[in-house]
Chains A and B, each alone.
Chain A
Amino acid sequence: MDYAERLENVAVIGAAGKMGSGIVLLLAMEMADVGLKAGNGSRHRVLHAVDVSHQALGGLVKYLREQVQKAAEKRIVALRTVYADRADLVDNGDIVRQYVNDVLDVVRPTTTLEVAAEANIIFEAAPEDLSLKLKLFARTATDNPARPWVFTNTSSIPIQEIDEKARLGGRVMGFHFYNPPAVQKLVELIRSRTTTDEVGAFAEALCKNLRKIVVPSADRAGFIGNGHFMRDLLHAVEEAGRLRAGMPFVEAVYCVNRVSQDFLVRPMGIFQLVDYVGLDVCQCILAVMNPRIPGENLHSPLIDRLLEQGVRGGQNHDGSQKDGFLQYQQGKPSGVYDPDAKRYLAFTEFQAACDARLGPLPEPGLPWKVAVRDPARETLLAQFFGALRSMDTAGAELARRYGARSRDIGLKLVSDEVAHNAHDVNQVLLTGFFHAYGPINEFFA
């Protein structure tokens, strides 16, 4: 079965979720593109988009229609060539509409899990819960005589464990998209000891066609991305705990969040990132990593406590940010949650005092947006962090500790052989987390 044949029948489980909907979008477009290529046109292609609720699947279709239209508008120059033989499609508008139809024609939204059993490939994007994933595989892939290939979007569970427990015989591989899959360039590919070369080669070909940047990760819980992120967040929680000796909880959270953004030239503060990912998702990932990585205590009682109080983060259906560690107004952080008072305190009540305590940013300032766009960013960053090194302020001190810890985490991922090298670690943070520089750098050496 070649690449085009393999893509004739595909299933995505968890299709209406945040990750699943993006995966459906990318796969449906790739399947339609393969179908539109000369010689493949007559073949029937099916993508089973499986999820638990019709309501969520309705949202998926709406999302797909909007996103495929945007993609078609962006690719209009190439699409006019693709449809050059269709005399009935003249205007750009005709071509965009046809492409949207061609892509949507591939997708079959369904709540019936068993249809996935007829697919050649199953992409799994269910919640990060091994027992749930195993149940899903048991009904679709395990002991299936058609021997479908399984690509799991897990961001933390070792693939070898999935393979053994679901009895997939090397037909499974980690295919970790970043959120949102349609936008983020990075894919972490994780082969287990038993993943077959055929499966691996297909995954690489697919990534290439999706124009993704591939970073291979060793099959260790958390892989590279969460291997860094979870330890980074635990450091942030620890720092906030340390600061709490001298200030209220909300101020400590504010300070660490601000330092991890403005002083470290990152796209968002660490607690905002946790909110974006979702506290529940972070909890699940930590629960996977902690027992599998002994001696590090990868666990946060604070996150457990917030979740018990219903503080979850994540996004609403329209993509807007839900409140988590922080409160949001029009997408921007505006307050911090106080678990003792069980309510949010507005930034305005303490921001000025905290900023004064942290001290000024290094001069000249370097907002993340400027850094990532400037071709001379290395020089700007060296200048900024050079100034930061010599500053004797609470903000600079926190930033130095934070940057050094981030670097140590990165180095440990290399020495533990989770990543092949420093470049791979940096690549994940640069492309998967949009950092302006990799954690393994000379700025915090």
Chain B
Amino acid sequence: MNKLRRNVYMTGGYNTVSMGTGRKEFHPKQSRPGLEDYICEAGRGVLQQVGGAGNIDEGVIGNFMAARFNSQGNLAALIPAIDAGLQWKPCSRVEGACCSGALALSAGIKSVLAETADMVLAVGVEVQNTVKAIYGADILAAAGWSRERKAGHAYFFPGKFSDRAGAYYEKYGRDRTRKAMARWYRNAIENARLCPTAQEYHNTSADLDAVALAEPNPRSFVDHLNVFDCSKVSDGASAIAIASADGLKRAGIPTSAAVEIVGIGQVEADLTRPPSDPTRLETTRRAVQCALESAGITVDRLATVETHDCFTIAGILAVEAIGLADPGKGPDFVLDGQTARGGHVPFNTTGGLIGWGHPTGATGVHQAVTIWEQLTGRAHRNQIEIPTDRPYALSVNMGGDDKTLVALVYRRG
């Protein structure tokens, strides 16, 4: 992909709490905030930082399945509900399963590149606790090919990634991989415990490795994963402003308070075809490669990565797909502590999907917000050190089983 022809920035990020089991204030039988509440909270959180709705030219909202989780379509029309100043502005909604959030970012970036907007409000949202997990599994299964649903597992996507994990165990060994998956879980929870909006912020388990090493139980769940290998069911929204240099100037925001998007890779794979090699995330690999090429950098320039760890095994496969470890060596990279917050390339520094939560349509935007916080020194207790010789960050957002991919490369503005 060509280098971006205009400077594009992100600033003013905001996350709601990722609500669901694990949060002390979550009670499944009590009424909770709805879709519009999350959209408004996140949107207003951004508007406050960018000088109000008057500075916004366009809105984009990413969401996967509000039509089924919340009986709500036409989500673009909920953007004006954030602020009266957004009424009559162009808005759209994008969907690409769990990659919907990053598709919103991508759509916003393209508007800025096309010079049809100088500041775009990008929102990602999902409110999934409206149904029990087993029915949520039906809804989320639509991220796969509908014709595969019948033969699929009751927990469709855990089933898909369980198959990948099983293939990986067979090819590269089970014990070390399981240990690395447990370590991935521990890193995620330890990061989440530092982040007040994280779903696992209140997690107090004493021995996270032991918890995560519980044997999978195929009778009640899937063959090769336990529940700790999976991201939870979450409600939440994230939002961020995407701007040109003029857009930042108009809002009075210095570039140092923003991150610059220096590379983008957006790749789609055929939904009806199974992966050629279940031990590889080929679409992820291609998207990251595009993004790095577009940024003109190599993987060794990355200071931090936000990756789509909907399952611990997806985290390990992503480490390999990004190019930080050879095939089969991802577990070693993780077990050596390289992805931990004190490691060489800290991953998912606010907990990722396992620790922070996975409100599906919001995740891509949440990743961007975390990177904006890290690169501009706003990450509070989650803050990691960004080496001056490696000033770049990468986000990888995945929809379905490695089908819809957006990878972005950032550096401080």
Please list the residues of chain A having a beta carbon within 8 angstroms of any beta carbon in chain B.
73-74, 76-80, 87, 90-93, 96
Task: Kindly identify, within residues 241 to 263 of chain B, every residue whose CB is under 8 Å from any CB belonging to chain A.
Answer: none
Expressed in whole angstroms, the Cα–Cα distance for A79 and B154 within the complex equals 9
A87 & B154 in contact (Cβ 8 Å cutoff): no
Chain A to chain B contacts (Cβ below 8 Å), 16 pairs: A73-B134, A74-B220, A76-B154, A77-B154, A77-B219, A78-B219, A79-B154, A80-B153, A87-B150, A91-B135, A91-B149, A92-B135, A92-B137, A92-B154, A93-B138, A96-B134
Expressed in whole angstroms, the Cα–Cα distance for A253 and B221 within the complex equals 47
Hey, which chain B residues are within 8 Å of A73, CB to CB? 132, 134
Nearest CB in chain B to that of A81: its residue: B154
Hey, which chain A residues are within 8 Å of B154, CB to CB? 76-77, 79-80, 92
B134 is contacted by which of A76, A78, A87, A90 (Cβ under 8 Å)? A76
Hey, which chain A residues are within 8 Å of B132, CB to CB? 73
Expressed in whole angstroms, the Cα–Cα distance for A87 and B221 within the complex equals 22
Please list the residues of chain B having a beta carbon within 8 angstroms of any beta carbon in chain A.
132, 134-135, 137-138, 141, 149-150, 153-155, 218-221
A90 & B135 in contact (Cβ 8 Å cutoff): no
Nearest CB in chain B to that of A70: its residue: B132
Hey, which chain B residues are within 8 Å of A80, CB to CB? 153-154
Nearest CB in chain A to that of B142: its residue: A91
Chain A: minimal CB distance from B148 (Å): 10
Chain B: minimal CB distance from A65 (Å): 16
Hey, which chain B residues are within 8 Å of A79, CB to CB? 154
Hey, which chain A residues are within 8 Å of B137, CB to CB? 92
Chain B: minimal CB distance from A370 (Å): 15
Query: Chain B CB within 10 Å — which of A78, A80, A91, A92 has the most?
Result: A92
Hey, which chain B residues are within 8 Å of A77, CB to CB? 153-155, 218-221
- Nearest 7 A/B pairs, CB to CB: A91-B138, A76-B154, A92-B134, A77-B154, A90-B150, A92-B138, A80-B154
Nearest CB in chain B to that of A96: its residue: B134
Expressed in whole angstroms, the Cα–Cα distance for A218 and B83 within the complex equals 76
B153 & A93 in contact (Cβ 8 Å cutoff): no
Expressed in whole angstroms, the Cα–Cα distance for A91 and B218 within the complex equals 19
Nearest CB in chain A to that of B131: its residue: A93
Expressed in whole angstroms, the Cα–Cα distance for A132 and B134 within the complex equals 45
Hey, which chain A residues are within 8 Å of B153, CB to CB? 77, 80
Expressed in whole angstroms, the Cα–Cα distance for A220 and B66 within the complex equals 62
Hey, which chain B residues are within 8 Å of A76, CB to CB? 134, 154
Query: Chain B CB within 10 Å — which of A76, A77, A80, A93 has the most?
Result: A77
Expressed in whole angstroms, the Cα–Cα distance for A76 and B135 within the complex equals 10
Query: Chain A CB within 10 Å — which of B135, B138, B141, B150 has the most?
Result: B150
Nearest CB in chain A to that of B137: its residue: A92
Expressed in whole angstroms, the Cα–Cα distance for A173 and B138 within the complex equals 45
Hey, which chain B residues are within 8 Å of A78, CB to CB? 219
Query: Chain A CB within 10 Å — which of B138, B149, B219 has the most?
Result: B138
Hey, which chain A residues are within 8 Å of B220, CB to CB? 74, 77
Expressed in whole angstroms, the Cα–Cα distance for A414 and B98 within the complex equals 62
Nearest CB in chain A to that of B220: its residue: A77
A90 & B149 in contact (Cβ 8 Å cutoff): yes
Expressed in whole angstroms, the Cα–Cα distance for A287 and B132 within the complex equals 47
Query: Chain A CB within 10 Å — which of B135, B141, B221 has the most?
Result: B135
Hey, which chain A residues are within 8 Å of B141, CB to CB? 91
Expressed in whole angstroms, the Cα–Cα distance for A73 and B137 within the complex equals 12
Nearest CB in chain B to that of A72: its residue: B134
B219 & A93 in contact (Cβ 8 Å cutoff): no
Chain B: minimal CB distance from A178 (Å): 24
Interface contacts beyond A77-B218, A87-B150: sample of 7 additional A-B pairs, CB < 8 Å, sorted by A: A73-B132, A73-B134, A76-B154, A79-B154, A92-B137, A93-B135, A96-B134
Hey, which chain A residues are within 8 Å of B135, CB to CB? 91-93
Expressed in whole angstroms, the Cα–Cα distance for A74 and B219 within the complex equals 10
Expressed in whole angstroms, the Cα–Cα distance for A76 and B136 within the complex equals 13
Hey, which chain A residues are within 8 Å of B149, CB to CB? 90-91
Expressed in whole angstroms, the Cα–Cα distance for A101 and B312 within the complex equals 38
Expressed in whole angstroms, the Cα–Cα distance for A73 and B132 within the complex equals 9
Hey, which chain B residues are within 8 Å of A96, CB to CB? 134
Nearest CB in chain B to that of A95: its residue: B154
Hey, which chain B residues are within 8 Å of A91, CB to CB? 135, 138, 141, 149
Chain A: minimal CB distance from B185 (Å): 22
Expressed in whole angstroms, the Cα–Cα distance for A92 and B149 within the complex equals 10
Expressed in whole angstroms, the Cα–Cα distance for A77 and B218 within the complex equals 8
Hey, which chain A residues are within 8 Å of B150, CB to CB? 87, 90
Chain B: minimal CB distance from A207 (Å): 20
